[in-house]
Amino acid sequence: MENPESKIIKRIQNGELELFGQLYDNYLKKIYSFIYYKTMHKETAEDLTSKTFFKALDNIKKYDINKGNFSSWLYKIARNNVIDHYRTKKPETNIDDFWGLSSNQDIESEIDINQKLEDVKKYLQKLKADQREIVIMRLWDNLSYQEISDITGKTVASCKMTFSRVTTKLREEMALVIFYLIIFTKQILWLMK
């Protein structure tokens, strides 16, 4: 039995491009979050998210419904965009980010949240890139192990083992980080709006 998303994709592939907006609406927050936690920069995440959806629309006819689900295909595009971004990235500093000039929010609570985010970010940076990627996809993006496997090219068992080892290490070394990861995710997403 064909799912509703597959029907929409077939219609898009047959020329009804306006239907792509439904896929965009369904995946925008997930893809943005995925990219944001890899770049930790709002404007970069916005740009790369746009590129991801443009590439998906441009290549929608190449997507094969029988070779995997759409979300995995879309995450692969996003992942490749992030990789390309870091390959070509030149160091730069946005003065608004540095001085917080564009912020109209409560400075005290923002500083507190930013400090906790920095703690989480520092710990995540200590992980190997593939470990960090799996943790982010599993915790923030709520992807299944099968989806993570499809995106990374690793086996489902390998993804489960990596996640298990990292979370065990987290519990031992940084119990508070897990608390931050779970509790502040909603606040973080709210700040990114």
Question: Do both 76 and 123 map to the same domain?
Answer: no
Domain boundary among 42, 73, 102: 102
- What are the CA-CA distances from residue 89 to residues 24, 53, 73, 157 (Å)? 26, 20, 24, 33
Domain with 112, as residue range(s), is 103-193
Q: Is the pLDDT score of 56 beyond 90?
A: yes
Q: Name the token pair of 180.
A: 């931050």
> Is 44 in the same domain as 15?
yes
Compute the distance between CA of residue 42 and CA of residue 124 in angstroms, rounded to an integer.
Answer: 18
Q: 117 or 75: which carries more pLDDT confidence? A: 75
Reported confidence tier of residue 118, pLDDT bands at 50, 70, 90? low
- pLDDT at residue 100 tops 50: no
If one counts the domains in the chain, the total is 2
My answer on whether 6 and 92 are in the same domain is yes
Do 160 and 92 reside in the same domain of the chain?
A: no
pLDDT classification of 136: cutoffs 50, 70, 90: confident
Q: Which of 47, 67, 102 is the last residue of a domain?
A: 102
Q: In the structure, what pLDDT confidence band is assigned to residue 156 with cuts at 50, 70 and 90?
A: very high
Q: What is the CATH number of the domain that holds 176?
A: 1.10.10
Q: Is the dihedral of CA 118, 119, 121, 125 positive or negative?
A: positive
Contact 55, 81 (CB under 8 A): yes
Window from 82-86, 157-161, 163-167 with minimum mean pLDDT: 163-167
Q: Are residues 192 and 149 in the same domain?
A: yes
Query: Domain end: 102, 120, 144, which one?
Result: 102
CA angle 32, 152, 7 (to 5 degrees): 65
Same domain, 69 and 109: no
Residues 190 and 135 in one domain: yes
Q: Are 189 and 163 in the same domain?
A: yes
CA atoms within 13 A on the CB side of 97: 10
pLDDT per residue as tens digits for the range 137-149: 887 778 899 999 9
Q: How confident is the model at residue 98 (pLDDT cuts 50, 70, 90)?
A: very low
Residue 17 has pLDDT above 60, yes or no: yes
Please tell me whether residues 126 and 58 are part of one structural domain: no
Confidence check: pLDDT of 167 > 50: yes
Does residue 132 register a pLDDT over 70? yes
- Give the mean pLDDT of the chain: 79
Q: Are residues 31 and 55 in the same domain?
A: yes
